[in-house]
Structure 1
């Protein structure tokens, strides 16, 4: 700056010899004022000297880099205001916000039933349900049988709250139960229904105990079966306050009871399968199967329900006639696009797809075992016999490499590895009520 002033004075002295002193005064006065203003601005903020509004900018040094200004720290950049993803639709935004809300909620996920084909279904439940809501607590309620060792796959579940694997025994059949329930279409008669109801109600019992133990209450409860194969994630749109979700189809005159989602109040009613039978009896209801009893207990307790298609099916070894007639049971191929909403399924080469499905399903009574088949979502198996030879390759192709690898690993599982897996699972579980790991593994594995 001093160099600039000296140069200015040099030129002025040269001009002064030729100019009248009054003209010099006219030139010097505004120039001095201009230099004073520039110096004041520089003292306040050095960067103002080089701003676009500074009249000395072009005259001084328009190319001067900021690094040449000593002891000056540039102001921190302002945080950008997040803008919505232009590719995210209103529906996607709503779904994302709902998922974020659920991630802040307390969720209990309860699995019930025998392990059977858990090497096929378990990994899908872990990936498409448990890991989707990885802050949810897992509850397992299952009878001990030769397949129970497969539950060792749950050692990788995000959160293990309570596990109960019990030795099954006959349950007493009350007069109310005998009046209200029917043995028709139940593989094990009324005893089979009572055993199943006990499994389901065991969920809410375990959950209530855990709530008391930890002094909090759950916002949501998801109850599903261990023999369910999930082809896609469980979405957040299935959680609705004060309404209980059930899958459509497979209703057998009532409501599909292969999965349910609700808040704590609606779930308590829905899962109280044994406790509410006296009320069904008092209402004069008779000869109810599982599905009609389920619907009746929701109605009597004033619980609203809604149906939504869900991407899972029940992997079954049972045999069903083909083609199914009016009250028959269609068995879906695991490769069906779905969603299958809990329909019976198995890995098979479809014997019926496209227009054929419309012909077969058109003969079925919609209020019974009917399954939604629109838009090519259903392919049918001929399930009158055992699973076909080579079903493993079919499953591996449909399920993908990750789930196929688990299936293969379980097929060659050693006793020692099984015990170690269950012991690790036990260490990660808050409440463990099950026989010793060695007993569970020996029951299903006779390999060394």
Structure 2
């Protein structure tokens, strides 16, 4: 008499539980035949055990954030991406345009086009590079643009106590301007969602000067936890990117308004990164770090090789996730064992980033960008990004104005100077 062993039934159940509905439809017919052929000689308890396992596991398992974090990338992330594409998402893009003709196309391709349901909010100071934002006419959903003339922010007593001017290029004022950029973008998001009468599920906060060398993947969206990159912590948390649901993001982006709470909690002399960590911990927001494929393109010069508290500047050609480390297009000056020697000499709690497995190559950033950097960038970024760079090198004011006018037709809220002023400041007559 044929009897299906309990061990076999358990194995089939485990197999079925890992399948989606479409795969299940493919396996039910042969399983049914097997059951039918064996039914006359199979004890009823074994048959009903098999039937129970098959149909109890027919539905895909409910999403669990802890399972998702610990799972391999096969299967679940694709399901989760489908869920993300059905969700409401805001991308908060902040900072000065600087080299946006280099970084902008990578943000469009690796963030905005990966999640075409995301609403883009741009918050940036008006300067001679702001005309470069005209390339955003290509984004899927341009929701709100605020380009403002920067003004001095009065420093309160609590801000002076809580924050430190040390290691900030523009002192406490520089921190306040940066915090104002970040929280101002949150206010833009709040205004829009109230007018539209809905709440965002996710907010991605990233910087204008971030260069992405691969897509932002679904596993970086973790319900109930705020995600930041590792490295470059300067005693706190890396604040160059943040991803979270609406509640965790609201705390993370409230850079100015939470300073009185930090003051009341006794925090003093915080830099941007330590203040960021203090915000999350005082509000009991859970956070985690994951490696993210972007870097911050910088024009600043740094000593080479970097000392214990120095700043390593990654070559844009580095193959691995750079987690928001400083970078530039350069001829590689340090790789392999050289990188190991440099990175092991740095203080891990300061300006440090992942470097193992050949993921990092370093520039000698002790001077200005080298001659011929354009060719290096084009080779790294590819033909599409190279064509954007070349177009902006020869962009005329008239073309710039036309692009901004096209953007204005699509945007929900435009709070910026006239396109003629934006383009004229950077491109002249």
Same fold, TM exceeding 0.5? Answer: yes
Equivalent position of 1:226 in the other structure: 208
Equivalent position of 2:308 in the other structure: 326
Counterparts of 1:129-208 in structure 2, within 5 Å, are 129-208=111-190
- Kindly name which structure, 1 or 2, has the bigger radius of gyration based on alpha carbons: 1
CA separation in 2, counterparts of 1:122 and 1:205? 23
Secondary structure of 1:222's counterpart equals strand
Cα deviation 1:6-26 (Å, max 9, x = unaligned): xxxxxxxxxxxxxxxxxxxxx
Equivalent position of 2:319 in the other structure: 337
CA separation in 1, counterparts of 2:337 and 2:127? 42
Q: 2:218 aligns with which of 199, 213, 236?
A: 236
Cα deviation 1:155-193 (Å, max 9, x = unaligned): 010001111000001011000000000000100000000
CA deviation after TM superposition for structure 1 residue 203, in Å: 1.4
Equivalent position of 1:110 in the other structure: 92
CA deviation after TM superposition for structure 1 residue 284, in Å: 1.0
Equivalent position of 2:271 in the other structure: 289
CA separation in 2, counterparts of 1:129 and 1:323? 33
Equivalent position of 2:23 in the other structure: 83
CA separation in 2, counterparts of 1:227 and 1:314? 6
Unaligned ranges ≥5, structure 1: 1-80
CA separation in 2, counterparts of 1:196 and 1:374? 31
Q: 1:418 aligns with which of 400, 405, 426?
A: 400
Q: 1:306 aligns with which of 268, 288, 291?
A: 288
Unaligned ranges ≥5, structure 2: 1-20, 27-70
Counterparts of 1:364-403 in structure 2, within 5 Å, are 364-403=346-385
Q: Which runs of 4+ in 1 moved over 4 A?
A: none
CA deviation after TM superposition for structure 1 residue 92, in Å: 2.2
User: What is the number of equivalent residue pairs in this alignment?
Assistant: 365
CA separation in 1, counterparts of 2:335 and 2:222? 34
Are 1:432 and 2:372 counterparts?
Answer: no
CA RMSD of aligned residues (A): 1.4
Are 1:406 and 2:359 counterparts?
Answer: no
CA separation in 1, counterparts of 2:106 and 2:383? 12
CA separation in 2, counterparts of 1:261 and 1:82? 32
Equivalent position of 1:363 in the other structure: 345
CA deviation after TM superposition for structure 1 residue 421, in Å: 0.2
Q: 1:98 aligns with which of 80, 88, 104?
A: 80
CA separation in 1, counterparts of 2:288 and 2:409? 39
Cα deviation 1:204-232 (Å, max 9, x = unaligned): 10000001110100000000000000000
CA deviation after TM superposition for structure 1 residue 91, in Å: 2.9
Secondary structure of 1:108's counterpart equals strand
CA separation in 2, counterparts of 1:120 and 1:198? 25
TM-score between both structures, scaled by the size of structure 1: 0.80
Q: 2:252 aligns with which of 262, 270, 282?
A: 270
Secondary structure of 1:275's counterpart equals coil
CA separation in 2, counterparts of 1:82 and 1:178? 60
CA separation in 2, counterparts of 1:379 and 1:403? 21
CA deviation after TM superposition for structure 1 residue 338, in Å: 1.4
TM-score between both structures, scaled by the size of structure 2: 0.84
CA separation in 2, counterparts of 1:372 and 1:236? 21
CA separation in 1, counterparts of 2:414 and 2:128? 19
Secondary structure of 1:121's counterpart equals helix
